[in-house]
Structure 1
Amino acid sequence: MANLASFLETSAQQYPDRTAIIFGDTELSFPQVNGAANQVANLLVSRGIEPGDKVALSCPNLPYFTIVYYGILKAGATVVPLNVLLKGREVAYHLADSDAKAYFAFEGTADLPIGEAAWEGFEATESCEQFFLIKLDSAAPAPLEGPEHYAPLVAEQPPTFETVEVDDDETAVILYTSGTTGQPKGAELRHRNMRDNALAGKDLFGADATNPDTYLCVLPLFHSFGQTCIQNGAIAFGGTIVMLPRFEAKAALGLMAKHQVSYFAGVPTMYWGLLGALDESVDVETLAKNLRVAAAGGSALPVDIHRQFKERFGVTILEGYGLSETSPVASFSVFGEEPRVGSIGKPIPGVEMKLINDDWSDVPDDVDAVGEIAIKGHNVMKGYYDRPEATAEAIHDGWFRSGDLAKKDADGYYFIVDRSKDMIIR
């Protein structure tokens, strides 16, 4: 079955007693998550959402994200995950640019009123027809007047659904990226792009459904790193996702101990945070005994983090590289080898990388040569949504140009040197 949602359905059938998601005191089994996703799919179909339609989602790391994400996919629609920090006018831009027909948004908090910004953006977008407000406590007073509420609507829907079959090359997800210009562009990722990248965990770090990992999810799920490497990877291999909406080092260490976390992925600041929070109250030996994989991306890890983390946790941090346009993983450290500090590793199986000049010509094979990273393989996006010119500039003969400058050593390991263009950080 080509649909990315087949991950969830297969795990629900094969591992009915396993816990799929833990959030606070809530534990959801694979069949429970699958049934809830089916209710979302039924709701969407009842509102006229058809295969190929776009459905937006604004939600932090909560079980609702995964449930709605897979529900959208089951209906044959395309998920458009949005950054929860977007303001109302930015939400409106993304909804209009992606042609979203429906929109699910979490209410947020006083500090981060996601629901208010979402509703403002929805109200300003004529083409988006449906809005569903997700509340953490369905019995609590509504923060907004006007929106329909998620909980009572899905409660009316049956927990069974015949997942829409899709072609491998149909778009599963549109991930918005600033890239090297100020106006965000939507990277169209096929079902096969997302599937193959999540399944790469088998080769990259020995992911095994018969001996599943417990993943701590601190990376935002609306971003490709958390979405593919944590959520979809865990669901595909029958693992457990322990969700933390906002990274806080002490809370993360507590969850790692409580739930025997074996897989952690984060950016360098998170690793600094974990190391800085290790005091007498933390049983590091137990954490180290459980931890099997530590993955990092976003920027190069300083040698101090590598050294200290290996000393305290007994695990070598595996650094990788990728972009929203590459689903995201393009290269990764070699599992079991000593780390090459500063390296983003080698291309993952099924993916090629090379260094190119501005005119797409290959850079000479020399350890001192600097060139722009180009990537080809199962992970490369279909293109930028509704932007044929930008797509043609970025993809040539199947090769995607990254905008990142790098060197390659004699053993084929890549090292980022710089951005080839100024990137706007969002």
Structure 2
Amino acid sequence: MSTTYNLASLLEDSTEKYGDREAVVLGDTRLTYAQVNGAANQVANLLASRGIGHGDKVAFSCANLPYFTIVYFGILKAGGTVVPLNVLLKGREVAYHLGDSDAKAYFCFEGTAELPIGTEGHAGFEQAEGCEHFWMITVDPSADSPVEGTETLGQGMAQQPPTFETVATDEDDTAVILYTSGTTGQPKGAELRHRNMRDNAFSGEHLFGADADKPDTYLCVLPLFHSFGQTVIQNGAFAFGGTVVMLPRFEADAALKTMAANEVTFFAGVPTMYWGLLGALDGSGVDVKQLAANLRVAAAGGSALPVEVHKEFGKRFGVTILEGYGLSETSPVASFSALGEEVRVGSIGTPIPGVEMRLLEPESWEEVNADNSDDQAVGEIAIKGHNIMKGYYNRPEATDEVIKDGWFRSGDLGRRDSDGWYYIVDRSKDMIIRGGYNVYPREIEEHLLTHPAVSLAAVIGVPHESHGEEIKAVVILKDGAEATEDELVAWGKEEMASYKYPRIVQIVDELPMTATGKILKRELS
């Protein structure tokens, strides 16, 4: 039975309509909607048997595996609130998230020798006083837990029936708590309602032409614990009876081969993933023409997509990347370039239906350029609509800082052209002030990528005695390309205004990145 405002209805409705259609694929494992729904019912019964129900928080750490989807919808069916955690968290950090979210139970994937998620997860569970139940998710459901004395998900589900009457929830009940990356202070949990998440998932019809009669096959390389992968891939696919092909981690060559083998029609990724695909394409051995013939939609988000990557992908794949924008606090999609529109390269599109955006003064709630007369006017992007979170869990003061009269302050700087299309200028916290001039790192990064030797760049501000901050570029060169740091500084001086070009350039082999593929600028110095 489908419960109107329970997010679990995405799975239940598709099971009712397309029960034998493939829902989740991982290698040779192929699960239908009926099988995923039955397994999720077992998880819901397991939780109910331990007294966990409406409004209870249930956390879990899991890579991109069918278990993620099964546990996710099982928690929702039981009436609980899903608290997905980053799989890279250490024990101390897991304990913080369990305690901060008031989680009553915790499911944790065992991980691998290289990434011992289960060991760290259990260590965190033992430090979290209020969390009462722990289940280890093992690759083999019949295997014992690698942590002695702990129950596995397989053992817990074994005696549970595959049917369950989904607990009724209200549209304003909290479905998911997504933790922000915590670039400043401790991570905060964004409370997202059932209607926030459902409406965002169904926006795929308008944005991407999603059609249950012609279901897409989605490649899932974005981490499902992150809002982009969770909403646009998993929930977006389930809203229209699509198939989710999972990869536990992004490796460009493996992603290309998986796309070819499964005739993937929908790819969504962050900019570094597109950069990786382009770099691996010629040596992958896949039929590029066939790959391009299958691909219907390419969507990008998470951070600004370099214009050069945008152009090259369109040239090689014959598909124009649809760039969008959002945050965990906005479920996450706020704006997108919709399929069928003439895409404006470098733009994050226009607000999705039911959502408004405006530009605000940095230190007030006053609107910048309200009459839209200056397409170069820069302000902080604010968002209002069905996608805005309730607030930060148990943090009313932090909520009041970013939400007023339904408007949410994003912390991102943008501009708006005369037709209402938005463009990201930079993160307000990333902006560099050099000698009194505002310098936007993204602009410098975009220009560096036009240099024939530069493959990827990250620009940061570093302390300077007289200028306050100096501009530094950390770059990766293209395979086989040659350039020195001094040469890149000299090139920048010729190409950019005197207050903009990087006086410091460092050439590296790789850049630090988050699990979602964003460059970790805070680790650069």
User: Counterpart of 2:246?
Assistant: 243
Amino acid at match of 1:203: H
Cα separation, 1, equivalents of 2:269 and 2:411:
22
Amino acid at match of 1:264: F
User: Counterpart of 2:358?
Assistant: 354
Q: Work out which of the residue numbers 320, 334, 338 in structure 2 matches 1:330.
A: 334
5+ residue gaps, structure 2, are: 431-519
5+ residue gaps, structure 1, are: none
Cα separation, 1, equivalents of 2:308 and 2:424:
18
User: Counterpart of 1:70?
Assistant: 73
Cα deviation, 1:349-400, whole Å, max 9, x if unaligned, reads: 1100000112101112321211100000000000000001111111000000
| 1:109 lines up with 2:112 in the alignment | yes
Q: Work out which of the residue numbers 164, 168, 171 in structure 2 matches 1:168.
A: 171
Question: Structure 1 residues 142 and 45 mapped into 2: Cα distance closer, same or farther (>3 Å)?
Answer: closer
Q: Work out which of the residue numbers 312, 318, 321 in structure 2 matches 1:317.
A: 321
Cα deviation, 1:132-172, whole Å, max 9, x if unaligned, reads: 00000234453211221110210110000000110000000
Indicate the RMSD between aligned Cα atoms, in angstroms.
1.4
**TM-fit CA distance, 1:425:** 5.9
Cα separation, 2, equivalents of 1:139 and 1:336:
48
| 1:218 lines up with 2:221 in the alignment | yes
User: Counterpart of 2:386?
Assistant: 378
**TM-fit CA distance, 1:424:** 8.2
User: Counterpart of 1:143?
Assistant: 146
Cα separation, 1, equivalents of 2:186 and 2:50:
31
User: 1:217-296 to 2 correspondence within 5 Å?
Assistant: 217-279=220-282, 281-296=285-300
Cα separation, 2, equivalents of 1:129 and 1:385:
20
Cα separation, 1, equivalents of 2:195 and 2:70:
20
SS at match of 2:341: coil
Runs of 4+ in 1 over 3 A off after TM superposition: 138-142, 422-426
Count of residue pairs brought into register by the alignment: 426
User: Counterpart of 1:415?
Assistant: 423
| 1:58 lines up with 2:66 in the alignment | no
Q: Contact 1:405–1:416 at 8 Å: present in 2 too? A: yes
Q: Contact 2:413–2:427 at 8 Å: present in 1 too? A: yes
Amino acid at match of 1:175: L
Q: Contact 2:416–2:423 at 8 Å: present in 1 too? A: yes
TM-score w.r.t. length of structure 1: 0.98
Q: Which has the higher contact order (CA 8 A, sep 6+)?
A: 1
| 1:129 lines up with 2:132 in the alignment | yes
Q: Work out which of the residue numbers 390, 404, 411 in structure 2 matches 1:403.
A: 411
Amino acid at match of 2:391: G
Cα separation, 1, equivalents of 2:310 and 2:343:
8
SS at match of 1:7: helix
User: Counterpart of 1:306?
Assistant: 310
Question: Structure 1 residues 178 and 273 mapped into 2: Cα distance closer, same or farther (>3 Å)?
Answer: closer
Q: Which moved more, 1:337-346 or 1:242-251?
A: 337-346
Question: Structure 1 residues 228 and 278 mapped into 2: Cα distance closer, same or farther (>3 Å)?
Answer: same
Q: Contact 1:171–1:188 at 8 Å: present in 2 too? A: yes
Cα separation, 2, equivalents of 1:268 and 1:61:
19
Cα deviation, 1:283-312, whole Å, max 9, x if unaligned, reads: 011111110000001222222222221122
Amino acid at match of 1:33: V
Cα deviation, 1:205-255, whole Å, max 9, x if unaligned, reads: 100111100000000000000000000011110000000000111111111
SS at match of 1:343: coil
How many percent identity over aligned positions? 73
User: Counterpart of 1:178?
Assistant: 181
